[in-house]
A and B are shown apart, each in its own frame.
Chain A
Amino acid sequence: MKVLAILEHQNGRLHRMSWETLAAAQQIGGAEVDAALIGWRIGALAQEVATKKAARVYPVVHALLENYTADGYTAAVEALVRRTNPDLVLFPHTYQTRDYAPKLATRLDRSLVSDVVAARMENGSPVFVRQFFQGKLNGDIRLEGPGPHFVSLQAGAWRADALESGSAALEKFIPELNASQIRQAPEAPFRESARAVDLTAAEIIVSVGRGIGDKDKIPVAEDLARALGAELAASRPICDAGWLPMERQVGSSGQTVSPKMYVAVGISGAIQHLVGMKGSKTIVAINKDANAPIFEVADYGIVGDLFEVVPALAEEIRKAKA
């Protein structure tokens, strides 16, 4: 199976998930792996990729690709795919991929199989596993009909340290693009004003999720944080609702933390949250649903009503510390 891995980069560096994608391509494609980088002045990055095991590395270069646009990237990768005819095109499931890969797949009359967590071969064809209902169910996906097929891979689903070294041929690919094709005019990326709360420095974090149910109940978790000497954090929905400020959000769109202890209160454990905290040394989860995905990453868990458990826990902690 001929596999093309599309690697992502920003500010002169490869995105951390690029190596995971290339490792996955090596495992699925064996010897028939090509990799591509899209941009402008990316020669050094392409050379770095060429030190890995692959047949060819394509720097896809054009001045119109200097800044990412969905229209520009779609046209560029479309041209490369039509030229190289891969059976399978793999992407890291990043915000950038989410912005243009579905458009690319549509242009080639395919559906993108997005956010895949595992793959296996069955009778010579791949079966991809992805999560449904926010991680509550898994599904096996089969590809139908001829390639190219398009698949994006969830962060951390493949290990970058499994990547095999080697030497790949560099083949520059210059797509035909013109400025009128590109309708989006992007401005320079920016960060909001400096974060007042640096959760990454906290040794202990108490984090609140949907289970808290109401803004008026936040003090229940706050009291546990006080007992532990912890910072208070939250999952995305809590910040979306304005119950806690956005700067206290942990997860893919918030901060990534790895404290000594992370206490998840009423957090079910959607993948977007897990990627932001699963590196914590000790994880404690309190949730009424014994099947909540958060218990998959937890070291200790209490299944029960958080409004009974959390006050009891705060009291026991104060006793233990006294």
Chain B
Amino acid sequence: MKILVAIKQVPVRDSPLVIGASGRWIEEAGLSFEINEPDAYALEEALQLKEKHGGEVVALCAGPARAQQTIRETLAKGADRAIHIEAENLGAFDTLGVARLLSEAARPENPDLILTGLQSDDLGYGQTGVVLAELLGLPHSTIIMQVDVVNKEGLGAAIRVKRELEDGWFQHIAMPLPAVLTIQSGINKLRYATLMGIKRAKTKEIRSFAASAEVRPTSMRIEKLYAPEKSRQAQIFEGDPKAAAAKLVEKLKFEARIL
């Protein structure tokens, strides 16, 4: 089973965010980057499926040169090889544009399964996997909590997945392979890279895939990025923790009348 995992590199969680000069994106200089957390769960799921069913795990990542570090980490965790779509100007693409890049690199690979996280921690559009499926003409399902490979009558090689619905409901869905799934965080327990894995990653292939030069017109653009207006009503206590706690308890007792 050949599994492609689409990953994204995003600023480290809780990075201090400053709006860049264009006003349309953050200032990236000085930030550290890491794998988008939901994509880490997608990678882990791919590795576990490979351990069960054999095959190959290929990491796929679009991003500038700095993405190499994150790609190398996926190889250290156990991905067999990687494809890096080198694109310095990802900001010029919208979701559809980025998914087009991914689909160009994914198509010649003919994977059995494509996994990705359900959303990114930076843009948070939550669409890349679904758009990729449509561009490749593959069936898909989203917010997946469990993946089982089955042989379903009439379907041949297929998967049966557990999809999360709202309010604590779930649903099983079967579909033929190849297919695209977006993986929910928490589906599995993330592994750490071993020393051996880190060593072996150095010899694994990262193939560079030239992004098509053409940026097609997009149907949306970020005009301006800004800090949300504070609508805060909260009474905030700062400073000495003990004094702040005492003030809060007084408020809870005499103002909110909860204690």
Interface residues of A (CB under 8 A from B): 70-71, 74, 94-95, 98-100, 102-103, 105-107, 109-115, 127, 131-145, 149, 183-192, 195, 204, 210, 236-237, 239-242, 246, 252-256, 260-261, 268, 282, 284-285, 289-291, 293, 295-296, 298-305, 308-309, 312-313, 315-317, 319-321
With A192-B168, A240-B186, A320-B259 given, is the CB distance from A302 to B236 under 8 Å?
Answer: yes
Q: Is the CB of A260 within 8 A of B234?
A: no
With A137-B225, A296-B231 given, is the CB distance from A149 to B248 under 8 Å?
Answer: no
Would you call B51 an interface residue if the criterion is a C-beta within 8 Å of the partner chain's C-beta atoms? Answer: no
How long is the Cα–Cα vector from A293 to B238 in the complex, in angstroms?
17
Q: Is the CB of B223 within 8 A of A285?
A: no
Digit string of B175-214 for contact with A (CB within 8 Å is 1, else 0)?
1100000001110010000000000000000000000000
With A106-B135, A254-B168 given, is the CB distance from A143 to B219 under 8 Å?
Answer: yes
Would you call B218 an interface residue if the criterion is a C-beta within 8 Å of the partner chain's C-beta atoms? Answer: yes
Digit string of B99-141 for contact with A (CB within 8 Å is 1, else 0)?
1000000000000000000000111111100110111000111
CB distance from A143 to the nearest CB of B (A): 6
How long is the Cα–Cα vector from A210 to B168 in the complex, in angstroms?
22
How long is the Cα–Cα vector from A134 to B37 in the complex, in angstroms?
13
Q: Is the CB of B236 within 8 A of A149?
A: no
Would you call B1 an interface residue if the criterion is a C-beta within 8 Å of the partner chain's C-beta atoms? Answer: no
Q: Is the CB of A317 within 8 A of B249?
A: yes
Chain A residue with Cβ nearest B127? A102
- Top 9 closest pairs, chain A to chain B, by CB: A240-B186, A102-B127, A183-B139, A312-B245, A102-B130, A308-B241, A313-B245, A106-B134, A110-B219
Q: Is the CB of A142 within 8 A of B252?
A: no
Would you call B242 an interface residue if the criterion is a C-beta within 8 Å of the partner chain's C-beta atoms? Answer: yes
Would you call B21 an interface residue if the criterion is a C-beta within 8 Å of the partner chain's C-beta atoms? Answer: no
CB distance from A163 to the nearest CB of B (A): 21
Residues of B within 8 A of A253 (CB): 164, 166, 168, 184
Q: Is the CB of B17 within 8 A of A137?
A: yes
How long is the Cα–Cα vector from A186 to B165 in the complex, in angstroms?
12
How long is the Cα–Cα vector from A255 to B223 in the complex, in angstroms?
36
Would you call B258 an interface residue if the criterion is a C-beta within 8 Å of the partner chain's C-beta atoms? Answer: yes
With A112-B95, A289-B14, A316-B245 given, is the CB distance from A191 to B169 under 8 Å?
Answer: yes
How long is the Cα–Cα vector from A197 to B167 in the complex, in angstroms?
15
Q: Is the CB of A185 within 8 A of B173?
A: yes
CB distance from A182 to the nearest CB of B (A): 9
With A185-B175, A317-B249 given, is the CB distance from A302 to B244 under 8 Å?
Answer: yes
New A-B pairs, 12, CB < 8 Å, besides A103-B140, A290-B238, A300-B248: A95-B142, A100-B130, A106-B135, A109-B96, A110-B96, A137-B17, A143-B220, A186-B173, A190-B169, A282-B258, A304-B244, A316-B249
Residues of B within 8 A of A136 (CB): 17, 227
Which of A102, A127, A246, A252 is in CB contact (< 8 Å) with B166?
A: A252
Would you call B52 an interface residue if the criterion is a C-beta within 8 Å of the partner chain's C-beta atoms? Answer: no
Which of A111, A149, A186, A313 is in CB contact (< 8 Å) with B171?
A: A186
With A98-B126, A142-B221 given, is the CB distance from A137 to B170 under 8 Å?
Answer: no
How long is the Cα–Cα vector from A226 to B244 in the complex, in angstroms?
20
How long is the Cα–Cα vector from A268 to B230 in the complex, in angstroms?
15
Chain B residue with Cβ nearest A255? B168
Task: Please count the residue pairs between chain A and chain B whose beta carbons lie under 8 angstroms apart in the complex.
Answer: 256
Q: Is the CB of B236 within 8 A of A304?
A: no
How long is the Cα–Cα vector from A71 to B130 in the complex, in angstroms?
11
Which of B99, B127, B259 is in CB contact (< 8 Å) with A114?
A: B127
With A114-B125, A300-B252 given, is the CB distance from A261 to B223 under 8 Å?
Answer: no
Which of B165, B172, B239, B248 is in CB contact (< 8 Å) with A284?
A: B248
Q: List 5 A-B contacts (CB under 8 A).
A: A103-B140, A140-B226, A261-B256, A312-B246, A317-B249
Which of B127, B184, B228, B251 is in CB contact (< 8 Å) with A137?
A: B228
Q: Is the CB of B234 within 8 A of A300?
A: yes
Residues of A within 8 A of B222 (CB): 139-141
Q: Is the CB of A295 within 8 A of B219?
A: no
Q: Is the CB of A299 within 8 A of B256?
A: yes
CB distance from B135 to the nearest CB of A (A): 6
How long is the Cα–Cα vector from A99 to B134 in the complex, in angstroms?
12
CB distance from A190 to the nearest CB of B (A): 6
How long is the Cα–Cα vector from A14 to B225 in the complex, in angstroms?
35
B126, B186, B218: which has the most chain A beta carbons within 10 Å? B186
